[in-house]
Structure 1
């Protein structure tokens, strides 16, 4: 059990989340997702969570484990081509996790996802939350456009608005 991590999570408030991701930033991220969906038939969701619930925290749940739960809760896996991608940020840890459905994960290696996560985390460490999130969406867009290009315009299967948990 990491005492510093517990303290960060306990003191992470909704105010901190709203400060890092005000409404205008959520709109910009949502617009980046909308723009992204014009380039491919994949589906992107962006979710930010301030901190883990105390039970999850005390049980040592990792950001990756929580991201997988959110992937399921938001039904990112529920796409026709199995090409949904969740970009998840656990703000208290400043940890970005990308969870990709099997259709896209089979074509994109874990190293590529990890590179995008590290780039976003670097932006977040500098306090550039909006630009880091938009940059992450654009980098995921490049991968989806390469492997799932648009054949014809279609309606997105998942909501495009960012989720604050």
Structure 2
């Protein structure tokens, strides 16, 4: 199993070509739009493959996503409502990491539905469109559970730029 996983990370990643400059600008705009009307923050990390040290120690994908969540200081938002969408292209895996403020407010079935939709879109070759749909759905969830308080500033606590590695 371990060698099979290593092989997945060594072979060329064809899906990477979908994430050009235009796609990144589009996703950044979708994040900005999806963040209006609530107190949450959204980020995207798309990683082609795990770093060699993490691959060698057989780091689970979920743990890598949590590392990114921490490194991006998503836990440091005012209302603890950050949500990270993490894609690991080599393994075709998607992880959603939600901060404690929003994680407990949203039923697990809703998180799973967003992941399932995104996985289907990715499998169909609709990477950017699928991420856009997922971000919009996450924005609606955040607006439902943590709406913007009347008169409060709609501040952007974290950058909207997707991260590609």
TM-score above 0.5, yes or no: yes
Aligned position for 1:111:
109
Q: CA RMSD in A?
A: 1.5
Aligned position for 1:156:
156
Tell me which of 124, 138, 141 is aligned to 1:140.
138
Q: Secondary structure at 1:114's aligned position in 2?
A: helix
Aligned position for 1:123:
121
In structure 1, how many angstroms separate the alpha carbons of the residues matched to 2:4 and 2:18?
Answer: 21
- Structure 2: tracts of 5 or more residues without a match: none
Aligned positions of 1:6-17 closer than 5 A: 6-12=6-12, 16-17=15-16
Deviations 1:16-60 (A, max 9, x none): 52x021111111111111001112110001110010112211222
1:69 lines up with 2:67 in the alignment = yes
Runs of 4+ in 1 over 4 A off after TM superposition: none
- Structure 1: tracts of 5 or more residues without a match: none
In structure 1, how many angstroms separate the alpha carbons of the residues matched to 2:2 and 2:133?
Answer: 31
Deviations 1:75-107 (A, max 9, x none): 111100000000110111111100000000110
TM-score, normalised by the number of residues in structure 1 = 0.92
Contact 1:123 1:132 in 2 (8 A): yes
Q: Secondary structure at 2:87's aligned position in 1?
A: strand
Contact 2:81 2:101 in 1 (8 A): yes
Q: Secondary structure at 2:138's aligned position in 1?
A: helix
TM-score, normalised by the number of residues in structure 2 = 0.92
Tell me which of 28, 32, 35 is aligned to 1:34.
32
Deviations 1:108-152 (A, max 9, x none): 123321221121111111111000110110111111010111223
The number of equivalent residue pairs is 163
Aligned position for 2:83:
85
In structure 1, how many angstroms separate the alpha carbons of the residues matched to 2:92 and 2:113?
Answer: 15
